[in-house]
Structure 1
């Protein structure tokens, strides 16, 4: 039975709910204020009635601990729940989003005070001016004079490309800037300029944060830490993602012609494979020769390249649907065979300095060929041409999808080839392409039948 204690004009009611995992007694407290003008005896009677109803109401929520802060809840979730449900690299990215964007606003709020309207305001502000991602640029590249870049990258715990980008005047995230500064034995502000541009998050990024936040609250509800998930009643952020960019057939031919005229045959094979298969950049970077059967033309997508603990590793895709097999055109198989022969020659010349003979595509030392470096190479190839200058590797995946759609390939087949879990994902992502294809089909029928009948 709840205890009732009179404090001035009110009654403090406390219900004892057993003990938590540390042996600390759990208790819930509320306050009752009697109506004005009632006698002391009537007030006490009303307080007892209120206490009985209130205690009955909270029965079944023995473990409720809504007095803890959101920061405490997030720490519990990322230390006990997330490691068993998320891949390490996914966990790091999701946690970073929550700590960068959500924690500064509601970290100190008690769970019982977090409401849907509060979260609506939070997400609206994120879309307006919420980019918390800091960007840093090396103050003076001369501070890296005399260092061996690959050795320095290993010492700092960053990829070699991060060091090269720093010397090229490109920006980087705070964590990488801090690692480089520490390796130089310098303070961050002495080695780097903070060049962060504050801008609103996209609807897609905001919605991703909402989903990650909801996962934390859902776990708390399951463990009876919270009574309900406030994200359930939040107005979904407006997703304003632009339609996927892609090349038409004529532009594809132009790009492939440009690639055939440059001297990097491996890169020519890479872009051809992107367009022919719709593979993701991380999946391509993780390909081993054992994943491609050059006799049958079958390519198996079994891994993706991820950044975990300061290094790049091959990891199984995030979802089972991303693991798939793709039949490659005969022309692509021919390119791959020629590439494999050239790679064997280069590997023989380098001897023991060649890092990984199993990789299909590599950097100059035989290590992983990163998507960021491929994107940089693509920009150089198309520079000064009339091809869209905002092309990137993912545009090749969209191009593959658009070619299939315009060839009237079924959505289910396209979804399987791209590694989408449902056709809805395919239809939503490429709705504008399907619409254009449908319009052309209508025009073809109109020209073939009805225009002649007039």
Structure 2
């Protein structure tokens, strides 16, 4: 591979070919600089290390990536979130910059600026980095970048937030103050741990009365029925007998309302809906119903999503396995379940050692026994207090 140096006026330019295309580059006003630049480029081309990025601005590539990749690869709700992040946060900062000129330092500066502005929480800032990293990854694959400038960005530390959930007594108190028309809905939320969108998309056709299971197949998002959050979210949830009976009574009342309205009833097969059969408004449900129940019951304001945590805590308290809890909640991996609820499990399993003791040695209390050869020897009461730190 050869190239040449061309002088135009007082400036030098280098000329070479790469992948069949002739490329010109400005090399300054000194011939020695132009010679050095040409040698480096030719060397990289010959060694297979040369990379010639395509010219495009950040804003132009963001539009291209959203339409040619994200639009067909992610859920509508995720796409809407990505479009908002680019429009409000990323394009105002990176927009007019040439994509190939953006450095890891630029990305870190963006994070630092957002943190200093104080308008976004650390978690929200980190959320804006998700589509940014993904877009840069595709820019590398498509030949616009040599490497991902956001790959090693240092994220803001997200403060640990204690999980909130209702206790057994608070669940009873909450349900006692729940209006009759919403009782089945909130009992289902507490006894299945379904996400709000999954709950409001429940249909009678997905309920197996004989097996006592509900099959999650859809989620409600802004009035439309969409795919659940992840493949694992499509799941069968076991329903308790009390909940099944409550749903039976709820269906009887709904059937009466359907007959009264006749053709004015919108038949969508929804379990929880308006009196006309239409989907419930998620925000109104929280503000006009959920919060009022909490206030009437004298319970602190928790999030609707905390009913999902309540379900998980109830299962943990009765000793259910993490794998079962994962399946019921529809977590993508058991690690998610352990990360989110693992801190609740030691309390639920604090008697495990005692149960192991009883299974091996029976009901006899063995906490004052030590082994001697092959015999178990009881330590006399007067010798049970031993000074020192024990064997090392």
Shift of 1:284: 1.0
Give the direction of change, closer, same or farther, for the CA distance of 1:48–1:303 in structure 2 (3 Å limit). Answer: closer
SS of the counterpart of 1:109?
coil
Select which of 131, 154, 171 maps to 1:252: 171
Q: Which runs of 5+ in 2 are unaligned?
A: 358-364, 369-380, 386-392
Distance 2:354 2:97 in 1: 58
Shift of 1:18: 5.6
Specify the alignment match of 1:281 in structure 2. Answer: 196
Specify the alignment match of 1:167 in structure 2. Answer: none
Select which of 121, 143, 147 maps to 1:228: 147
SS of the counterpart of 2:86?
helix
Post-superposition Cα deviations, 1:250-309, rounded to whole Å, max 9, x if no partner, equal: 2112112222xx3x33x11111111111101101111111011123211000011123xx
Give the direction of change, closer, same or farther, for the CA distance of 1:412–1:273 in structure 2 (3 Å limit). Answer: same
Structure 1 segment 304-453 matched on structure 2, within 5 A: 304-307=219-222, 312-376=223-287, 377-388=289-300, 390-434=301-345, 436-437=347-348
**RMSD of aligned Cα (Å):** 3.0
Shift of 1:335: 0.4
Give the direction of change, closer, same or farther, for the CA distance of 1:89–1:43 in structure 2 (3 Å limit). Answer: closer
Specify the alignment match of 2:40 in structure 1. Answer: 50
Counterpart contact for 2:104–2:153, Cα < 8 Å: yes
Distance 1:243 1:413 in 2: 23
Shift of 1:320: 0.7
For these two proteins, the number of residue pairs brought into alignment is 362
Distance 1:281 1:45 in 2: 65
Post-superposition Cα deviations, 1:191-236, rounded to whole Å, max 9, x if no partner, equal: xxxxxxxx53222222221111111011111111111111111113
Counterpart contact for 1:71–1:103, Cα < 8 Å: yes
SS of the counterpart of 1:433?
helix
Specify the alignment match of 1:291 in structure 2. Answer: 206
Correspondence 1:209 to 2:128: yes
Post-superposition Cα deviations, 1:362-400, rounded to whole Å, max 9, x if no partner, equal: 023210013212212011112154311x22221110000
Shift of 1:10: 6.1
Distance 2:202 2:63 in 1: 36
Specify the alignment match of 1:243 in structure 2. Answer: 162
Distance 1:322 1:359 in 2: 19
Q: Which runs of 5+ in 1 are unaligned?
A: 20-24, 35-39, 130-198
Shift of 1:13: 2.5
Specify the alignment match of 1:104 in structure 2. Answer: 92
Q: Which protein shows a greater Rg?
A: 2
Select which of 83, 97, 110 maps to 1:122: 110
